[in-house]
Amino acid sequence: MRSRTTTVLATAALFTLTLFAQSGSEAPANAPSIGRLAPAAEPGTRLQINGVVVAPDGAPVPGASIYAYQTDADGYYGVKPASDSANPRLKLFLRSGPKGEWSFDTIRPGSYPNSKAPGHIHFEVRARGFAAKIFEIVFEGDPFITPEMRSNPAFSVRKVMPTSPGTVSERIVLSR
């Protein structure tokens, strides 16, 4: 049953990601490299997510478009009881800095209500001359992470470092 649940979740995630890829969620040219995805007053455990966008050879990719979105701490994309991933309430557009760097403050997202989907943050990253990279960060220790998710490139399992706020780092490697 767990494998079937994983397959259904992965299929739904890829379908959602494909829809977003087709929608062209491109950050404005003047978007910052640092931002806040969840407002300071948003209930939940605070996180700082940071990283770098690089080419396959490790060279930084400045100016990459980063679109990130997530649920609130209770697992809803919209204002409860709405939960529309096509129009999330918590979202952010960034552009990577001169060294490919980016960061944002947020909260730890909740699992969807009445589901076994791990809490996650969606990412869509685009840069001229590279293929779009679409994936989700899920958090080590979440009881709903499956072995299949650990080997699926649509998921990036990351440890939350015990700082205040908790810190998560992600190296985004784009392909040509």
- Rounded to an integer, the average pLDDT of 45-57 is 97
- In this prediction, residues 119-145 reach a mean pLDDT of 96
The β-bridge relationship of strands 65-70 and 90-95 is: antiparallel
Q: Would you say the C-alpha torsion 2, 161, 163, 54 has a positive or negative sign?
A: negative
Order of strands, sheet of 166-173, starting from the edge strand that comes earlier in the sequence? 34-36, 101-107, 46-54, 166-173
The model's pLDDT over 147-158, given as tens digits with 9 standing for 90+, comes to: 999 999 999 999
Q: What is the pLDDT of residues 154-172, one digit of tens each?
A: 999 999 998 888 899 999 9
CATH number of the domain enclosing 89: 2.60.130.10
Task: List the domain range (segments joined by +) for residue 28.
Answer: 2-173
At 12, phi and psi to the nearest 5? -65, -40
Question: Is 32 in contact with 63 (CB distance < 8 Å)?
Answer: no
